Structure 1
């Protein structure tokens, strides 16, 4: 029997590419948690009834945690695609600086281990998907699919000087009828480019859900990490929250497809082949 995972998780080595898109503030607000009829989070307000939604493509190579005896344990590498709404917490207060962060709308991953941990500890909307990455100088692309049905293709092009980013980000989620706030320390440098990304949606229920947000396929800006490390602690329970929208169920297997291609190489599977028979 494997030991239960103990938090925090340490992400030592990751490839990260992100883009930021406009979306309908009203459509996003309908998906955010409430306590009865009271909104707990509000979309970032932009002109024309729009807000920001980010698409993040992660490839986690080394993830560790420390067991009760002080030994180091390792999670299997995995891919992850996050669709996150930019939000403000609480009610507006004149003269007070609002708490700004993200609320995850979709979070497919390539391993059951990562899916189950994210659901159990933070209530995140994780489901098992297939991801095929292309990693080249100045470009990272991921094709997300499920059982042959395309969900999206996300391509980020960014190069040049890399600047230090924010030392932490705040994430809100709902678990067990409580709003959780998780503050995630991050150490990373980022290459940025206005535009600099492409997003294409496929024929899949999750793709249809993203279309329903009025999501612009052309982004405002794109970012690519040059060196990325972070720590994922337990969330801090806040007030009560209504049950979130149902999570896409996905399939129940140990691993989805997870491949990486580099210039001049065929796609390299990141998991061993499944034994048959």
Structure 2
């Protein structure tokens, strides 16, 4: 079976796209399910409720170091959703929920074009300032407007017994009226976590106003740092128009 290929800015990418080294800092927030649903209603997906009336939103900074899309920074807003045809709820079902990518600012043109063209990710160009001395912090802005600032404290190491197995995730995107499911496999190591563990400040960009409508900023339920991530992304499948 021939592997599919995509030409982006004159470069041929053969699927699956591989990320050989990245690190990810993220914070998980509990937000009102009604507000989260209103924010992503355009996708046709339903938010996952870890408890009645509450949804889960993850905010993250990913630093891509070595991969088919080059080096770049990415800020993501991911809303946990029920994959089409499912209606799971409760903490025990969180592992089977999908991640709908609602915001995805990046700082490089190549990954922006690839993300939008191949997977329908809503990537926009943004400016980042990253501080990485005793703890990691960053600012992200787009079109001259501040989106967010996050500061991550050091967490406690998570034993590799709980993190070493490869993971198959269900990611969803929406662009130009089309909702897609993206095959996403991940292997992680050097993981640490903390209850709370992150401070968030929001700016004046429209993305910030959307996050404020969810009741943010607030203390996250938990934060995590993944020191090494390896990923593959396959071709997306259309799940709704």
Q: TM-score, normalised by structure 1?
A: 0.72
What SS class does the counterpart of residue 30 from structure 1 fall into? helix
Does residue 112 in structure 1 map to residue 116 in structure 2? no
Q: Deviations over 1:77-128 (max 9, x none)?
A: 110000010111234569xx79511101100000111111111111111100
- Aligned pairs for 1:113-262 (under 5 A) are 113-137=110-134, 139-163=135-159, 164-165=162-163, 167-175=167-175, 177-189=177-189, 190-238=191-239, 240-241=240-241
Q: Deviations over 1:120-163 (max 9, x none)?
A: 111111100001111235x2211101354321001222333233
**Partners of 1:32 and 1:145 in 2: how far apart?**
22
Could you say which residue in structure 2 is the equivalent of 1:90? 84
What SS class does the counterpart of residue 14 from structure 2 fall into? coil
Could you say which residue in structure 2 is the equivalent of 1:10? 18
**Partners of 1:24 and 1:32 in 2: how far apart?**
13
Contact 1:168–1:186 (CA<8 Å) still a contact in 2? yes
Question: What residue ranges of structure 2 are gaps of 5+ in the alignment?
Answer: 1-8
Give the CA deviation at 1:26.
1.2
Larger Rg: 1
Could you say which residue in structure 2 is the equivalent of 1:60? 64
Question: What residue ranges of structure 1 are gaps of 5+ in the alignment?
Answer: 65-74, 242-277
**Higher alpha-carbon deviation: 100-109 or 180-189:** 180-189
Contact 1:198–1:218 (CA<8 Å) still a contact in 2? yes
Give the CA deviation at 1:15.
1.9
Question: How much is the aligned-residue C-alpha RMSD, in angstroms?
Answer: 2.4
- Say which structure is richer in helix: 2
Paired residue total: 223
Relative to structure 1, the CA distance from residue 91 to residue 130 in structure 2 (aligned partners, 3 Å threshold; closer, same or farther) is same
**Partners of 2:85 and 2:169 in 1: how far apart?**
20
Q: TM-score, normalised by structure 2?
A: 0.82
Contact 2:155–2:197 (CA<8 Å) still a contact in 1? no
**Partners of 2:216 and 2:169 in 1: how far apart?**
23
Question: What is the aligned counterpart of 1:20 among 25, 28, 33?
Answer: 28
Contact 2:22–2:227 (CA<8 Å) still a contact in 1? no
Q: Deviations over 1:148-206 (max 9, x none)?
A: 43210012223332334362221012356543222311111321110011111012222
